[in-house]
Each structure stands twice: as structure tokens, then as C-alpha cells.
Copies of this chain bind each other. A is one copy, B any other.
């Protein structure tokens, strides 16, 4: 279980998606603009999310992504392991005796305890609960036009490929200096 900005991007994007999928599929271009994440990077992340069946895609105009199952049935742990590709294979597999010195892979056991706690915790946080948090905080979801047709009239801001010139969130663990 690793926890980096990569996982954060994925969680952020998933919340954005969950907040807005009522009006049909949400495009990556829209998420990219709202959350300031590079479109190409989102494509990579959603490729993984789709292969893990956390999202479904529909192509063509009016297409985009929707959640693969209910937000209450998607956990933060699901999202993070999807994009992090746990290369796993902790070598000794967990059962072999890493070194035949009788203490059989204490290092492994050692970390496993904390890791279990971590996974259990992240598995207890559902996407729905994060969405609720956002709604409670008064996040305004532009209840978009149900039109879906009648496009190509307004001066749409063209969603080009490169839209995050110098990403603001490039690095940094997250605030909390305390």
C-alpha cells in the first residue's frame, strides 16, 4: 500500500466524477479543467480504473465516464490500489522463511501488522462518504444543462490537450505542517 499524489489525483477525480455523473457521462476534459489535472495523465489513470472496473466508459460525442458501481460500494482503498499497481511479490511471498534463522521473515510480519490496519482503514472509507463531505461543505455542482444536444452553439472553451501548463500540484505531500 503506497500513498502518493498519484493516488490523490485518482481519488480527487473519482469524487469529481461521482458528484456529476447524474447528468450522464462525464468527460475527462471536464475533470481536467475543474481539477487542474493534465488530460493525458487522467487518461492513464482512468485506463487503470476502468480495467479494475471502478468506472465504465462510453465513447463518442456525449460520452465519457460513469462509475462502475455505486459510490457507496467503492472504497478509497479500491481506487488507490487500482492506480498504484501493487507490484506486490514481497519476494518471500509471506510464507517462505526469508532467512533460515528461525525468526522466519520478521521484517515481513513487522510491517504487515501496520499495513493491515492501513488497508482496513482505507477500505472503510467509501467514495460516497467523501462525496457527502463535499456536499456538506457546500460545494456547488453546476447542475448542468440536461440538453446534451444543441451543442456547438455557445462559444465553448475549446478543451485542448495541454491545459495545465505548469501544474500547481506537482509535488508536496499535502499541507498539515503541524
Contacts and interface: CB of A to CB of B under 8 A. Distances in A.
A149 interface: no
Interface stretch (A21-29, A51-59, A61-69, A98-106): A98-106
Interface residues of A, number: 59
Interface of A: 1-5, 8, 11-12, 15-16, 34-36, 76, 84, 86-94, 98-99, 102-103, 106-119, 121, 125, 130, 133-134, 137, 139-140, 168-169, 171-177
A85 to B, nearest CB: 9
6 contacts: A11-B110, A11-B114, A34-B103, A88-B173, A109-B139, A114-B125
Given A98-B168, A118-B3, A139-B103, A113 B130 contact: yes
A94 to B, nearest CB: 5
